[in-house]
Amino acid sequence: MQLKGKTVVVIGFARTGLEVARFLALRQARVIVTDRRPMPELQSEVASLAGLPVSLRLGEEAPDCLGGVDLVVPSPGVGADHPLLRQAWRRGIEIASEIELAARFMQFPLIAVTGTNGKSTTTSLIGAMLKESGLKSFVGGNIGVPLIHFADAPWDWGVVEVSSFQLEWTRRFRPRIAVLLNLSEDHLDRYASFTAYVAAKERLFQAQGPQDVAVLNRDDPWVWRARTRIRSRVISFGWSQAEAGVTATRDEIVWHDPSGVERFALAGVKIAGVHNIENLMAAIAVARTVGVQAPVIRRVMEEFSGLEHRLEFVSEKNGVRFYNDSKATNVGAVVKSLMSFSAPVILLAGGVDKHGDYGVLEREMRRVVKKLVLYGAAKQKIYERLGHLTQTAVVGGFEEAVREAAASAAPGDVVLLSPACSSFDMFQNYEERGRAFKELVRRL
């Protein structure tokens, strides 16, 4: 793609927008960055572009900046209803997401991982397996540094987490290996329906061909249906038995291919939870497809200790174990987390409602939740749906929620922060929420 002399509007000046603006300016495009936030809130971003020819339109929608524009690149947080995107669409101006733009410059094969839950852990596992095998690879995308940062450098493989938001404006984005882990209700505050959300996820496969690979969860009905709509070669994983691909029991993961069977014991694995066995299955499917040898995979499985805020063990106090699962921002993630425990759980939930069905939690609530502690903007809605299932406390703030949960716990219990909601009523993001939880636990 020729960028020199092209005029490009970048909507959104967070991490992705900043990387895109820098990439474009260094390739002599005329760059206009627009953001609703005013200059005082963006001083560090502005300073990082010092010396580059970038025009800034901050603190406004900048409706008049589309004249003569060749391309619009929205940041992932910018929805399709943004006024500039609506205008660009009506005028026939090309719109491309950051990963779509990056794909046009990449000269290396890409592994892309998406799904409602488990993306970051699976992406990190795959990256660790490739790195341990000696391949020159990076891990990025939605999990960290945007893909475009790596786009025109030489790599053996790139491993990226991609979200539905990033996939919305893609056409030629083509992973050599595309992974769809699972699908459950999420981001229904952005999508008109669950079907629309699923369609955005399936854009991961749209540019793949028969020589590419799709790794699919055969136990997830929404994921498994996708195999009828894609052209790539399917490798499946799941708990159900199959003649090829990856299967699992509570004791081991088994890889089947035409050359034979390989077994990977779970006894030495540090990361907990049935969902993490599913993440491991997907990672093994990718690693063996790439050619990573079994001893390397086993070594990574035993050394990988998990990611912060993903069912992270925090502390044990007076026989009570505390877990930080702040990344569980949807009901599907909470179901998987609760399935990981047999001990009684005091569950902390709440935050900003994402319009998912809390009723999905009912089975696991009845099985294992001793007490439900609700806080934040969605607390009343959750209470109305789940409060009758167990002892429930509705509290005013996050600190009060942690104190209430700790006071309710007896030796042998688990206190689990697994909110089922986003964090934006009280925190900047789920990371800040998770760190606050850990600090409050330390003070108990």
Catalytic, out of 82, 117, 131, 142? 142
Tell me how crowded residue 402 is: count the other CB atoms within 10 A of its CB. 24
Reduced 3-state DSSP string for 268-337: CCCCCCHHHHHHHHHHHHHHHHHCCCHHHHHHHHHHCCCCCCCCEEEEEECCEEEEECCCCCCHHHHHHH
Q: Going along 169-249, which residue ranges are E strands?
A: 177-180, 213-217, 233-238, 245-248
334 vs 227, 314, 363, 369, 419, CA distance in Å? Answer: 27, 17, 12, 12, 7
Strands 213-217 and 177-180, by their bridges, are parallel
- Is 136 considered catalytic here? no
DSSP symbol at 59: S
- Give residue 94's identity as a one-letter amino acid code: E
Taking phi first (over 0 means left), then psi (-120 to 50 degrees means alpha), and beta for anything else, what does residue 58 get? beta
Q: Using CA atoms, how far apart are residues 393 and 122, in angstroms rounded to an integer?
A: 35
Q: 442: Cβ–Cβ under 8 A, 6 or more apart, which residues?
A: 315
Catalytic, out of 82, 117, 119, 354? 119
- Is 119 considered catalytic here? yes
- Is 354 considered catalytic here? no
> SS3 for 292?
coil
Catalytic, out of 82, 131, 149, 187? 187
Buried b (16+ CB within 10 A) or exposed e, 333-354: bbbbbbebbeeebbbbbbbbbb
Q: Which residues are marked as active site?
A: 119, 142, 187
